[in-house]
Amino acid sequence: MLEIPKSVDPSPDSVSLSALPGYPVRGRLQSCDVSDRERVRLLLMADYLADPLWYRASSGVVTYMIRLESLPLSAKLRERLRAWASRYDALMETGYEWPNPAEEAAWVVDGRSLWNILRVELGPGYDVRYFYGADSGTDP
């Protein structure tokens, strides 16, 4: 059974991700404009060869990927999000099987930390959720 710590330090310095080369982005890209709207619903979720933020419709259905540049995020956070997604992309060669439970647990912990940082940087105009199998939710 995979053990996932539920408490993660949300400070930007608490996550140490190695710099990974960029990857080509495929699929439908959308900008996200929050002016004169209700809270924007986003989902932090890795998917192959994609930025890891997705727009959620009011029904909860994930409809499209959001370009990280269209959000008010620091360059450092965009870099960390893409590095985290690249670690998932590397699993394509193994059929999305983790080499061992410890690497998967570390990736999930990093994702939860990034989720906390996202919520701080984006602020109250955004409702950001996190998705990774059984380790999904609305609260860290």
pLDDT in tens, 2-46: 344 444 333 333 322 222 223 233 333 344 554 435 789 999 999
Q: What is the pLDDT of residue 59?
A: 81
Interatomic CA distance for residues 84 and 124, integer angstroms: 24
Q: What is the pLDDT of residue 60?
A: 77
Q: What is the pLDDT of residues 103-119, one digit of tens each?
A: 999 999 999 999 999 99
pTM (global) more than 0.75: no
Nearest to 81 by CA among 1, 17, 10, 9: 17
